[in-house]
Amino acid sequence: MKKFLLLLVVVSATLALIGCSQKPKLYVLNWGDYMDPELILAFEKEYGVSVSYKPAGSNEEMATLLQASTTTYDIVIPSDYMIDKLVKEDMLQPINFELLTNFESLDVIDRLYDLYAATNIAPYVVPYAWGTIGILYNTTNPILKALIEQQGWAALFEFGSTYKVGMYDSARDAVAAALLYKGFHVNSSDQSELDQAEQALKDANFNAWGEDNLKGLVISGNLDMALVYSGDYFSEYYVALEDGIAINFDFYVPESTNVWMDAMVIPKNAQNVELAHKFINFFLREDIAIANSDYIGYAPCYTSVYDALISEEYGYDFETFNPYPAGSVRQMYVYGTDDRQSKIIAILNRAKAAR
């Protein structure tokens, strides 16, 4: 009898494992901690599927993983310029919006839609979150706030002898900031304008070149100000609020700046296209979209979701949360051509070597 019961338990456990392994599996490639894991579990339960979530540290890492043959991803959430590159390389498939019933009930924020609709990525994307680049600064020096608000991008490029300034060690971001400083478009290919941007980077007295570490250097007081993404600011702001830490930093976005947008896309070689659309549609359901946006803390791309987050219930109604306030000028970065990318990489290398 005991042997029979033991056999029954073993068979039942085996069948359960087989059942799990036979569940449809969706492979998602996204940034780390950029989607509420509880909502992923809710999707798995509702559709009887399994989600494999792979975090990536950069857009370039995402592209490398997509090009590798080890794993085929069904959903990826890269940024606008990388989406532009993937479209050019024929690595994405158009979204079937007829399968996204929840998309019909949402309105993409007009100003954001105008920006990405002017590029070639619109048929391939479902907007996820958006923001800007700007200047993070340490507020322990009372003069800095007025200086940065008065000078804008010039604060980074003209006051390196007075203050400790950090610049993003990325050709895309550093050259974009220099072009904005000179009054040009972030996607400029004009050689004269690129030459002026290069000279601005060479003339600026940057104390540090960095990436994610720049925010920590500002908060610790090792830098007075630095170019960062709005997400860098928000992540530190929310942590400080949650931990009850005094906030000794702030974020200023000049009148003219670069807007970034992350979006859900489906690779051309995705194996579970129908399930991928169900996943996207699930995260477009208004209550799910609100909960997920509250989790990641970045500005939502949809009017009703944004309005919910800035309501008293959620409390996101602070000045820098809106990436595109009235009276401002915003530009969306695109990958452009390989020739231009080579040029801006060379500009950054020469600018760093000149110091």
Fold match flag (2-129+261-325 vs 131-259+330-353) = yes
User: Angle formed by the axes of helices 286-296 and 37-47, to 10°?
Assistant: 150
Share of residues in the chain with pLDDT > 90 (%) = 90
pLDDT at 22: 81
Tell me the pLDDT tens digit for each residue of 319-345.
Answer: 899 999 999 999 999 999 999 999 999
> Regarding beta strands 225-229 and 75-76, do their DSSP bridges make them parallel or antiparallel, or are they unpaired?
unpaired
Measured torsion, CA atoms of residues 61, 64, 68, 73, in degrees rounded to the nearest 10: 60
The band of 12, judged by pLDDT with boundaries at 50, 70 and 90, is very low
Tell me the one-letter amino acid at 271: Q
**Using CA atoms, how far apart are residues 25 and 261, in angstroms rounded to an integer?**
27
Instruction: Give phi and psi for 42, each to the nearest 5.
Output: -65, -40
Measured torsion, CA atoms of residues 232, 233, 239, 245, in degrees rounded to the nearest 10: 140
* pLDDT, mean of residues 201-211: 96
Tell me the pLDDT tens digit for each residue of 247-302.
Answer: 999 999 999 999 999 999 999 999 999 999 999 999 999 999 999 999 999 999 99
The band of 70, judged by pLDDT with boundaries at 50, 70 and 90, is confident
Cβ neighbours for 85, distance < 8 A, ≥ 6 positions apart: 63, 335
Do residues 131 and 230 lie in contact, with contact meaning Cβ atoms separated by under 8 Å?
yes
Mean pLDDT across the chain? 93
Domain ranges (residues) in the chain: 2-129+261-325, 131-259+330-353
| CATH fold group of domain 2-129+261-325 | D-Maltodextrin-Binding Protein; domain 2 (3.40.190)
The band of 8, judged by pLDDT with boundaries at 50, 70 and 90, is very low
The three-class DSSP label of residue 75 is strand
The lowest-confidence range among 9-18, 105-114, 168-177, 184-193 is 9-18
pLDDT at 320: 92
The lowest-confidence range among 12-21, 115-124, 179-188, 209-218 is 12-21
The band of 21, judged by pLDDT with boundaries at 50, 70 and 90, is low
- In CATH, the number for domain 131-259+330-353 is 3.40.190.10
- Of the candidates 241, 323, 284, the one whose C-alpha atom is nearest the C-alpha of residue 97 is 284
26-52 residues labelled b (16+ CB within 10 A) or e (exposed): bbbbbbeebbbeebbeebbeebebebe
